[in-house]
Every structure is written in C-alpha cells, then in structure tokens.
Structure 1
Amino acid sequence: MNTQFAMDVDAGLSQPTKSLPSKYFYDQKGDELFRQIMALPEYYLTRAEHEIFTQQTQALIEALGVSKDKHFELIELGAGDGSKTKHLLKALLSQGYQFDYLPIDISGHVLELLSESILTELPALSLRGQQGDYFEILQDLKDRDSSKVVLFLGSNIGNMSDEQAAQFIYSLGANLSEGDKLLLGADLIKPVDIVLPAYNDAQGVTKAFNMNLLHRMNRELGANFVVDQFDHFPEYTEEEGIAKSAIISKVDQQVTIDSLNKTYSFAAGEKIHVEISRKYNHQVLASILKDTDFTIADTLTDSQGYFADFVLARH
C-alpha cells in the first residue's frame, strides 16, 4: 500500500470541505488519459504554447537575453516529453549558442525517456538530466559560474493558489542569481465559452481522467466507491479567473476505505475538490511577483491571445 497516498486521502476526506491532491491523478491510466486530453480539440493550452515555441522561436531567444559568447545552463522543471522545448534547443544549437540542457524531474524513468527522445533528434546537445527535488537541485547548481535560464512551462504554475505560486517563485529566486531568467508558461484569463470546454470535453475524456482517481482508491486502498454514483463537476468564471474541477456525489452515501479502516459520508451534491487551474493576466502575475526577486521583462503570446510565456528577470 502507498502509505502517503492513504494519509493524503484521509486528510482530504476528513475536512469539512473535502479535497484530494491532484498529483494522484497520474497513475499509468491517468497518464494515458492526460495524453488524450492534450490532443482534444477543446484543450487549447498545449497547442497555444507549442505555437509560441514553433512560430516565435527567434523572438523567444532574444527575449531570454542569452549571448553566444557566454555559456549558460538551460534548466527545465518537469520537462515531460520535451516536445515544445526541442524547437528552442534546435534553434540554439544551430545558431552556435554554448549551453547545457538540464531537465529536472522526480522520475528517473521520465528523464530516461526524455533523454533518449531528444538526443535521437539532437545528438550534439549537451544534456544532463537531474533527478530529484527542484529546489535541492537548483541549490546545488547555484554556485556554478554559468548564468541560468529556468523553464517552467505548460501553465503548471496554475495548479497552485496565488499564495503557493508566490512562495514557489520566491523559492526559485532564492536559488538563482541576479540576471538569471525564468520562462513561465501561463494560461491567460478568457471567456467561459473558451475555458470551460477544455475541462469538460464532449468526448468525456476529462471526466474519465477525474473519475480514475476513484478507481485508483478502490484498487490501491481498498475503497468501495461506486463510481457511477459520482460525477465530474467543472466550474469557471472569467471574473474569478480560476477553473475548478470537483467530483460530486449524486446521492447521500457512505464510502469505506479498508486500508484506513474508516468510513466517510457524502451528502447529495457534496463536492470533492480535486484541481484548480489559475488563469493569468499581467495584473494577476505582477501581484504574485510583488514580494519575489522577479519582474516581468517580456511577454510572448500565441496568435489568439490564449496563452503567454512570461520572461521573468531575477533582479
């Protein structure tokens, strides 16, 4: 049994407002469902950022302010499959920039797959994968002479509250030096008719992704969720600028989790909050940055203005 998983489930379901950490979406089935989500016509986020990296590669390089005469380290937090970053890496190599690419991930398997994929296409690339915690690795790298460009893409920052995001960016700054850059991918605030379908697609893939969390608890923790008695419940208003996903109980019911030897009650209409996805504009981001060591140096957006890659400078 995954003891931490069990403890986190108990902590979340024992609160007056029930919640579950979104990180537990990503078992093998969840990973596959999320890959399907990224290919859905409603899910604009991946395509929009990919457009920036493919159509504005040179502008991106110029915005980062790197020099061909000075070696730097390009550090990516949670690089995934590297599909967007490859375009930047290819352009930097072809133009003679001197740099090392350091993808960081907690999973050695992910790094292995990423390295194999990228080096197959770019065998001349200096790639040094770093397995472990972001901040521990950045701390180890801090005293090196090279300047640093950190990539945190895909609007992963949006899964944090504004307070958590401010602390995260502050901690990044504490592990970087003056003049270093952070490229922050962020989904922009848009009308509900664009945003909400990205979390409630017509094919029901996003629903299956969220409901897989119940199946996972049944399988790994000995829970007895009757999955058909719960539903996927997405919410978004442009005024708030935060997409929220919950699992909602259709009926009054109780669920027992054998590994915890506990039973939890759910009222009809009661929600289990599972994810937020914050949307941004310059004002929101500036507020988050006000007590950090970063300022917004440049902004690149896709052609529809759906997504932005913010270049933040460490002062």
Structure 2
Amino acid sequence: MVAATLTVENHLPADFIASTLRRDVVTGLTAEPKFLPPRWFYDDRGSVLFDEITRLPEYYPTRAERSILRAEAAEIAAASAATSLVELGAGSAEKTHLLLDALRATGSLRTYVPVDVSDGALRTASANLLWDYPGLAVHAVVADFERHLGLLPVDGHRMVALLGGTIGNLAPDTRAQFLGNVRAALRPGETLLLGTDLVKSPDVLLPAYDDASGVTAEFNRNVLNVLNAELGADFRAEAFDHVARWDAEHEWVEMRLRAQQAMRVRIPAVDLTVDLHRGEEIRTEISAKFRRERVAAELDAAGFGLTRWWTDEEGRFGLSLATAR
C-alpha cells in the first residue's frame, strides 16, 4: 500500500494575520457606517461557537448542503472527472470526506489541496487525512484565497470547491472579482463546485442568524473580544445588542452590533479612538442569498458555464458545478 504524502506550501508573511487585522479594523471602524469583516469571528472561541451554531435547529445551511453532498457526491465526482480536489477555506471534515470518497471511488483521485490562512489548522487537518486515504498526495497551501488563487498547484485535472455559502459573505463587486480570479487560475474544462444559500422567506432566514438560545448573538459579539485580545481594545461586548436584518433589496442577511449607549473605545495597537453614539451599529457580516438564475449569470460573467445544479429536498440550499470555458 502506497503511503499518503503531505506537502505544506506557505505563501503568507509571518505577520499576515496581524497586519490584515490592523488594516481591516482601521478601515472598517473609521468608515461611515462602520463595519468589520466576518473573518475576524474565528478565533478559538469563535470557531467553537460557530460549530455549535451549525447544530442548532434554526441553522439549516450546513445540514442542507451536507444532504446534497451525501446524495450527489458520486455524480459530482463523475461530472468533474477531477484528479485533484482544491478546497478553499476550512471545510468540515464530513464534507471533505464525502467528496474525497466519491472521487476515490472513480479511481481518478490523486491530490487533495486544502487552502487556508491558518498554518497550524491546515497541518492538523491535513495530517488527519493521511490516515484515511493511503496513496493520496495532500498538498496544503497556506494562503488567502481572495488574493492568492494564482499560486495554486496546477497538477492534474482540478475541481475547486468553495462550500458552506461562504461566497455570500463577499459584496457583489468583490464576489465578481473573486470568481474571475478562480477562472483565471483554472484551465478550460476544470470545474468549480460552489455552495450557495438560496432566497427564501425571512421567517426561515432570520432565525438562522438570531437563534432562540442566543448562540449567534454570542458569536457576533465575540468579534469585539478578538479586537480586545489582539489589539488591546477596550470594547465591552455585553454593551452591544446583536441584530440580524433581512435586506430585501440586496437579498442578503446582515448581522450588526448595536451600541446600547454612547461610548468611546480605544484601540491602542492601531492608535485609534472610536466614538459610537447610542443605537449606532457596526455591520459584522453580510450573507447573500441566491437564485439559480443569479448564480448562473455571475458564473457566466466570470467565464464559467453552469453544468449541474442541485438543491436539498426543501430547496433551501444550492450546489452548482460550473466548468471553466
């Protein structure tokens, strides 16, 4: 039996995460209205909270996408004809296994390329896979997938996967640029597997971002704890209300933090003082929801053709396979 192999390629400078956080905080908290990018939810505590969110009864996206993959992984593998799976961002172990198992069953799978900004998490997840997939070459890439797609390995016939509805966290212009960059990184005939949460009643959408047990509220406030820990800020997270709002015009859910009172916050690491008035909000996330026609149009504009489309039984989540032209 051929042993699996692990290669780790790091494209990030040592201070990448710290410098990016400082830049994002200065840009977002001096803007009007104020915002923070959702990537800063995920310190150790934030990751634990998000894992808890995915198991809440109100939070359907993870279950819906998993059900599609369970039902359609074999068809995805056959349609993509991929010998290399490139996974952008931290995918759940179960989702990754479903795709790897299906690709291995076709007899074509040779390489798995996980891409993430966390060197430690990437090495741990990759090492765990070596036990399960003898003969698999794991080529881990430490990189920011919004910036470094041109550095992806080019071995084999690739399928790039971006799951979990992560694409919805990007504003439309950023999303268009990202999809264009994915297309530029691929050769004609290679594929993109894309998970998208779908437009539905706010009665279903909003509880997924404002659960009855308050886990999402704690997760949202945790971004302020990250700023306190990493930048010496003096936010009082408990002094902010969690807000989830459906924007019908843009067809996205927004998460915000609303100041309960006027306050002045100091952030020493970036030499910044932030004044907030009572009721002022900091937007912490957008989560765009999609229709099939919109997904097809955005993929087409980026140079892809939509070749397969699947939804869960309730039509809540969409998974698309698109081919680079």
TM-score over 0.5 (shorter chain): yes
CA distance in 2, matches of 1:30, 1:99: 34
Equivalent runs, 1:189-228 vs 2, <5 Å: 189-228=199-238
Partner-residue secondary structure (3-state), 1:83: helix
Instruction: Pick from 140, 146, 153 the counterpart of residue 141 of structure 1.
Output: 153
Instruction: Pick from 23, 39, 46 the counterpart of residue 62 of structure 2.
Output: 46
- 2:8 maps to which residue? none
CA distance in 2, matches of 1:224, 1:123: 49
1:290-315 per-residue CA deviation (whole Å, 9 max, x = no partner) reads 43111211101111111111111111
- 1:57 maps to which residue? 73
CA shift, 1:223, in A, is 2.2
CA contact (8 A) 2:235 2:265 kept: yes
Matched, 1:32 2:43: no
CA separation of 1:120 and 1:256: change in aligned 2, threshold 3 A: same
- 1:291 maps to which residue? 301
CA distance in 1, matches of 2:109, 2:32: 54
CA shift, 1:75, in A, is 1.3
CA distance in 2, matches of 1:196, 1:140: 36
Corresponding letter in the other structure for 1:259: A
Moved more, 153-162 or 236-245: 236-245
CA distance in 2, matches of 1:157, 1:140: 19
CA contact (8 A) 1:80 1:110 kept: no
CA separation of 1:54 and 1:290: change in aligned 2, threshold 3 A: closer
In structure 1, runs of 5+ residues without a counterpart are none
CA contact (8 A) 2:59 2:207 kept: yes
CA distance in 1, matches of 2:122, 2:149: 14
- 1:250 maps to which residue? 260
1:112-167 per-residue CA deviation (whole Å, 9 max, x = no partner) reads 2222332333334332222224464644534x4x3221111111101001111111
Q: What CA RMSD, in Å, does the superposition of the two structures yield over aligned residues?
A: 2.1
- 1:231 maps to which residue? 241
CA contact (8 A) 2:195 2:318 kept: yes
Partner-residue secondary structure (3-state), 1:80: coil
- 1:18 maps to which residue? 34
Equivalent runs, 1:33-182 vs 2, <5 Å: 33-64=49-80, 66=81, 72-134=83-145, 136=148, 138-139=150-151, 141-142=153-154, 144=155, 146-182=156-192
CA separation of 1:3 and 1:121: change in aligned 2, threshold 3 A: closer
Moved more, 243-252 or 88-97: 88-97
**TM-score, normalized by length of structure 1?**
0.90
In structure 2, runs of 5+ residues without a counterpart are 1-14
Identical-residue share of aligned pairs (%) = 35
Corresponding letter in the other structure for 1:288: E
